Each structure stands twice: as C-alpha cells, then as structure tokens.
Structure 1
Amino acid sequence: MQSRRDFLQKLTASAAALSFTSYAAAAAPSVLRESQPYDGPVLRVAIMGLGGYGSRVAEAMQSSKMAKLVGVISGTPSKIKDWQTKYNIPEKNCYNYDNFDQIKNNADIDAVYVITPNALHRDQVIRVAKAGKHAITEKPMGLNAKECQDMIDACKKANVKLLVGYRLHFEPFTLEVVRMRKDGELGKVNFFQGLSGFKIGDPSQWRLNKQLAGGGSMMDIGIYAINGSRYMLGEDPIWVTAQETKTDPQKFKEGVDETITFQLGFPSGAVASCLSSYNINFLDRFFLSGDKGFAELSPATGYGPLKGRTNKGEINQPVVTHQTVQMDEMAAIILQNKKPVIPVDGEEGMKDLKIIDAIYESIKTGKQIALKL
C-alpha cells in the first residue's frame, strides 16, 4: 500500500521532470527537433577547401536535416575523388579554384561554404556571389574590415546572403548564458574575460604564414574572445587597448602574433580583459560577472562538449555536434529568413575585423583606440 509520502514524492518527481522537459524545449528547440521528421526545403551546399575543418563540416552535415552536401571545390584532384566516393558527389558538382565560377550554371547548388586560408576568403566569396550563390565563409571573414566591406557589397549587389561560420552562436551552453544575461539573472554585468590559447605545432603551416593568415593567434582564436565579449555582454565596445608578447621570433615571424592581451570598454561601463596565444596551452574560458551572479564556460569554444557553471551551480544543456546545428540553422536563415538569437551575417563578421584592425593599431602605437562599429 502506498503511503502519502510515497505518493507526494512521485508527484513531485513527475512535476520536476515535466518542468525540465518544458525548460529544455524552450532553451534548445533545434536540438529537440532532431527526433521529428523534416519535410521542408533543403539547402544544397558545396564545400570549398577540403582540409581538416572542411572534413569536419562535411561529416557533421551527414546528420543535418535542412542542409545537404552536394558539391566540392578544391585544388587537389585526389581529394575531390576521395570526397566523391565518400559522399556520393556527382562529377558535374566538382570544381577547382580556376573553374568554380561555372557554378552559376549549376542549379543543383544553392550555397558555397568557403573553408580556405583567411587571405583567400575575400576573392572567393566575391566570385561565389557573382555566380549567384549564397556564401558562407569561415571566420575570420577577411583579413581586415575593408575586405569584409567588399564582400558585403558584392553579396548585396548579387542579392545573395552572406553568413560567417560562427558555430557557437547556435550552441546550447552559449545560448543559455546569453539568455541568463538577457533575463537579468546575473544583474548588471560589469566584466567579461575571454582566454583563447594553445601551443601551435608545425611552423611551416599556413596559419603561421602572414600572407595566408593575415596575422597569428589573434586571427585564428583571439577572434573568439572578441566575438564572445560582444554577444556575452550584449553590446559593442567603444575602445580597445592591446599589448603583444613574442618569445619566439623564429617561429612567429614579423606580422605573425604569438601572444596578445587586449582590453575592451563598453557603453554600459563594462570592461573585457582577453588573451590570445599560440604559445600557451589550456586556455579556453569565458567568464561573465554581474552584480547578482556569474557564468563561466570552460571549455568555451572547443568543438565540445562545452561545460558551464554559474553561482547557482552547473549549466545543464544538450551536447550537440556544433557544425550539424550550425548548418541546419544557417539553412533556416537562408531559406526561411529565420532570425538567429546572435547574428551571423556579414555585418557581424566585419565588426570583429574592425576590432582586430584596432588591436593591431593599438599594439603599434601604444594608444587606446576608439571604436565605431
């Protein structure tokens, strides 16, 4: 025979489970939709650049419902053949860097995801736009704000969308911290810290080549802290100061930064203190402090799983494959004009490059640089 206590305990547990399910559905609708069938339009994507990250995106897209890998663009014929076999890509959807302008005549491709070295993004995105296809480009969007503006102008002229591969803008732990800040759970937020760093390996890789990368750690991983400070605080900075440290000028040659610390000031009075390094391991942390509470993500920007905690305890959110969710959400932006919680358009990407331009200027001049984003 059930006691009243047993009955109440079960009733409480059921209510708690129902409450959690409702909360999770509101917090991560895209994740919970995965079990539901999808019978709408699909974004047909060609990937340009078949390296390590291009491969990661391609694998993740196999689980996407609204985006499908249908084409490839590469300068390496053997990679094209391998991808054709692995992903069942027809010959007519395969291009190289010389002839990919011909995609304008290919009705099977809707968008091109540019995943090539930073210095190539501008020209390749402009060519994609002129071919009449939507463009997704990896971050950093370009080498500087001027390149970003050129890309924005080209896509507007061609009436195609331009998105930047900010995968974390769709990631559940990230969105939960943003929700907490928006809902006032942290009170007035005064401080953000963003740490991004690891010891980079092969000195001959393109990321350490000024002509291809446009810089060093700042362009590759420092941009996470820049972008993160903006969406975590919910405002754009109005000034920046920065300092560079270089301990290995042989590996990190002129124009390739090793370690940069930088500080940002915001209209509300909040400040950010950030660090970007190619020579310090185990740096992957965002910290947000308000007068009522704090939120921390650590790891904050890796491929997952991310982890988080607040002054009230651990953050519990679904663990997802970032690129799968990203491609589904970007397909919804392109096909359905969906408005994301955190923007991923060209204007968003250009703001980060304006800040990076100012960081390099501050290092060079030793002065605080005013920002107009």
Structure 2
Amino acid sequence: MHANRGPRGISRREMLQTLALGGAAAALPGAFAGPAPARRLGVALVGLGGYSRDLLAPALQLTRHCRLAGIVTGSPHKIAEWQGSYGIPDANVYGYDDFHRIADNDDIDVVYVVTPNHLHMPQTLLAANAGKHVWCEKPMAMDAAEGEAMVKACRDNRVQLTIGYRMQHEPNTRRFMAMAEERPFGRIVKLRADAGWFGWRDGADDAWRLDPARGGGAMYDMGVYCVNAARYSTGLEPTAIRAWNETARRDVFGEVDETMRFELEFPGDIVAKCVTSFGRNLNTLQVDCERGWYALSPFQAYEGNAGRASDGTVFPAQLGERPRMQAEQMDQDALAILNGSPPRAPGEEGVRDMRVLDAAFASARADNGKVAIGG
C-alpha cells in the first residue's frame, strides 16, 4: 500500500477533493445519530418475499424512527416464522382478503407495499383508504394511469405516498443529484446508465418476473433504475424515447423482455443511452460534460456504490454494508411523515418514471420508432 493512501487506496488529495464536492457531509446520515426519538412509526410489510425477508425486515431492526409492527401476506405458511423472528402479535397479522381491517389498527402507521407490480395499485388504494401512509416499491405501478390513481387516493385521504427509490437516499447519488444543478464540469452532453444482472433465480418468489400480466421483465425490474438515474443526473424530464427489445432467451423469458436498450432525449440536446437486462451484469452511471465526466460503478447496488470524476475526485462508498441503505431510506421517509415534510421520492416521482416506461414499451412495439413522453 502506498504510504500516503488509506485502506481503500484513497489519497489525502483525493479525499480533500471529495470533501470539497460535499460527499463527506452526506456521509453521516442523520437518521443514525442523535438522541432516541419520542415516537417510532409502526410499519406493516405487505408481501413477504425475498426483499422483505432479506433486506427490509432486517433494516427495520436498525432504524430509529420506525419499526416492524405488522405483516400482510398471501402465504399463510410464512406467518409463524415471521412471528417467531420478530414478535409480531396476532392482531397485526393480515391476509390479502382482510387487509382492509388494518384501518382499525392504531399500532400501524405505514404500509410498505412489496408485492409484484400488478398489486401495487390495488394495495396502495386499500392502504390509503384505511388512512395509512404508503411506501411502495418501484416501479410504482403497471403504467402511469395507475400511478396517477395512487397519487390521487393518497392525496384524497391525506396520507403520504412515497416510492421506494432507495438510491435517492444514498449519499453519492444525492451528490450527483446536486451536481445536475451545479454543473461543475460545464454543460451535460450525454450520459449512460446501465442496470442488469445475469442469471435467473428459479423460485416461487420470482416466478412473477416472467409474467407480463404481473409486471415481469427487465424494463420494469431494472430499467426503472436507468430511467430514474437519467432524470436525477440531468435534473430534467425526457421528451422522447426509442427502445429496442433485444431478448435472446425466448425459451426462458417468453413474453417479457430479457434485455431492453433505449435512448432518452432531454432538453438541451442531451441524450441518455441505457441498457437493462436479466442476461447481463450491468451497473454503471456516467455523466459526460463539456469539461470532464463523473461516474458511479456500481450505481444501484445494495452496498458499495462508489465512483470517480475526470479530475481525480473520488466518491467512496459511504453507507456501509446492507441493509444500511434500506434503513436510511425508511428512516428518512419516516421523518418526512413525522415532520409533515415532503418525502424525497413522492408518488409524483414514480409517475414520471412510469410515463417513460409507457413510452418505452410503445416504442419497442412500434419497431423502435421515436415516441414522445407525455407530461
């Protein structure tokens, strides 16, 4: 190891440059510091698949402003294990058929929807009508019209709707969001955002990802990371898209997209070139500007999101090992409710991405023709 470099290979000069860009200020999440809060919000997880089991439930053991209070599941055989692991009382356990009874439970403040995509809208509407705040996993819905209905239902019931864009709580990502406005390397010229993973998990929890009626396919699952990154990295809304379905393994993926390539057009002649896939390991975001570039790779992992800029600035990974990102996300979203302030990723943010996905699917169906993105 070089004498002037730390354990991550970061020199003092590089660290000072990172400090100058504000990365270190974001490296100390407020949710994990300070005195114990007076009240913690009770959260019910809806859907007990892998993401809830492996990340959200463990993360809720680390949060300071919320706690795991209940579960809603369509798989009764999972209930005993969850109750044994987390001490969830019988009164806070629901099935999909009696989900509406959650309205009478004052121990639950927030419902976190973590089910297949086609269930996001109906379950959000049920939770909102029950007077519960809603956190909903991405993508928020099957299309923009469903997303708009979810926003309206939460607004009408005076509850917050927040989309589970965990990356918007990650410090380096938030730094990139600020740089979209500051433009430290001059005008943005183009960007690249690629998100995908190779292989397929053959299990009941993931079978829905092969079903178009339930929101399966790479574009819904991973492409939304690319879309959201292109938007927050430019601070702009795309005006048009061209998309290509490049599915190779039709025997596996059938009617859903294995790989989708797409190009987004933004005001100011900015073009974002993106690829999303279930057949390739992809995890890079790069923004090219007039006088340099900056990039994160990985940019949407559960941990270790880090990068560099063309001037030598480094963006070291900051949040720590999983599930710290999910804990930070839920603590910040809980604070928004407790403080009566807007969440970082409100329902409207999800609707904007759904408009892009709607246009992407339309373009892919129309022989890759350019499709305008509705506002």
Secondary structure class of the residue paired with 1:328:
helix
CA positional deviation for 1:186: 2.1
Distance 1:198 1:39, change over 3 A: closer
- Alignment check: 8 A CA contact 1:25 1:32 kept: no
Secondary structure class of the residue paired with 2:134:
strand
CA positional deviation for 1:292: 2.1
Once the two structures are superposed, residues 171-199 of structure 1 have per-residue CA deviations (whole angstroms, 9 ceiling, x without a partner) of 01111222333322121111110111222
The answer to whether residue 324 in structure 2 is matched with residue 325 in structure 1 is: no
Secondary structure class of the residue paired with 1:299:
coil
* Mean Cα deviation higher: 38-47 or 263-272: 38-47
Which structure's CA Rg is the greater one? Answer: 1
- Alignment check: 8 A CA contact 2:31 2:64 kept: no
Separation in 2, partners of 1:32, 1:358:
38
CA positional deviation for 1:275: 0.4
- Alignment check: 8 A CA contact 2:26 2:171 kept: yes
CA positional deviation for 1:338: 3.2
Distance 1:202 1:25, change over 3 A: closer
- Alignment check: 8 A CA contact 1:260 1:277 kept: yes
Distance 1:127 1:193, change over 3 A: same
Equivalent residue for 1:96?
95
- Alignment check: 8 A CA contact 1:203 1:251 kept: no
How many residue pairs match? The answer is: 352
Separation in 2, partners of 1:344, 1:34:
20
* Amino acid paired to 2:237: D
Equivalent residue for 1:7?
none
Separation in 1, partners of 2:20, 2:246:
48
Once the two structures are superposed, residues 273-309 of structure 1 have per-residue CA deviations (whole angstroms, 9 ceiling, x without a partner) of 00011112x2111011111221111111110111211
- Alignment check: 8 A CA contact 1:24 1:317 kept: no
Secondary structure class of the residue paired with 1:98:
helix
Distance 1:36 1:179, change over 3 A: same
Separation in 1, partners of 2:201, 2:258:
14
Q: 1:336 aligns with which of 333, 339, 342?
A: 339
- Alignment check: 8 A CA contact 2:180 2:232 kept: no
* Amino acid paired to 1:264: L
Structure 1 segments, 4+ long, off by >6 Å, are: none
CA positional deviation for 1:92: 0.8
The answer to whether residue 210 in structure 2 is matched with residue 208 in structure 1 is: yes
Cα RMSD of the aligned pairs, angstroms, is 2.1
The answer to whether residue 48 in structure 2 is matched with residue 46 in structure 1 is: no
CA positional deviation for 1:71: 0.6
Identify unmatched segments of 5+ residues in structure 2: 1-11
Distance 1:250 1:33, change over 3 A: closer
Secondary structure class of the residue paired with 2:147:
helix
Equivalent residue for 2:6?
none
Q: TM-score, normalised by structure 1?
A: 0.89
Q: TM-score, normalised by structure 2?
A: 0.89
Distance 1:78 1:203, change over 3 A: closer
Separation in 2, partners of 1:278, 1:22:
34
- Give me the identity figure in percent: 36
- Alignment check: 8 A CA contact 2:362 2:371 kept: yes
Secondary structure class of the residue paired with 2:283:
strand
- Alignment check: 8 A CA contact 1:181 1:187 kept: no
Secondary structure class of the residue paired with 1:348:
helix
Equivalent residue for 1:57?
56
- Alignment check: 8 A CA contact 2:138 2:163 kept: yes
